[in-house]
Amino acid sequence: MLSPEKLLLIRNLHNISQNELAERVGVKRNYISMMENRKQPISQELYDKWIKALYGQYDFRDTEEGKKRLQEKEEKMQLNALEKEKSNKSKINKQ
């Protein structure tokens, strides 16, 4: 496991803010700061997420923004399906 100092260095080299890393990992920004400053230990699970986030291997759908966009996309698809169904019924009724 890399030290918190090395994780901080890698985060900075990748030009990722604490806020962005926190969003990717699923914690608050101040928790990232506490871990980087050795005020909180880093669990193996969080360490794994951290590494994936730093190297772009995280799943955007697991973030709050990703969940929101996915929900919006699903709602839009449902509306489109309803509109299409409505249009088809209207065409049938006109015949």
pLDDT tens profile 67-77: 777 788 888 99
Domain count, the chain: 2
**Structural domain harbouring 9:** 1-58
69/93 same-domain check: yes
47/22 same-domain check: yes
Average the pLDDT over 12-22 and give the result. Answer: 93
Residue 60 has a pLDDT of 61
34/2 same-domain check: yes
Exposed, middle or buried by CB within 10 Å (0-12, 13-18, 19+), for 64?
Answer: exposed
User: Is the model's pLDDT at 19 over the cut of 70?
Assistant: yes
The angle that helices 29-36 and 18-25 make with each other, rounded to 10 degrees, is: 110
Residue 93 has a pLDDT of 75
pTM score of the predicted model? 0.59
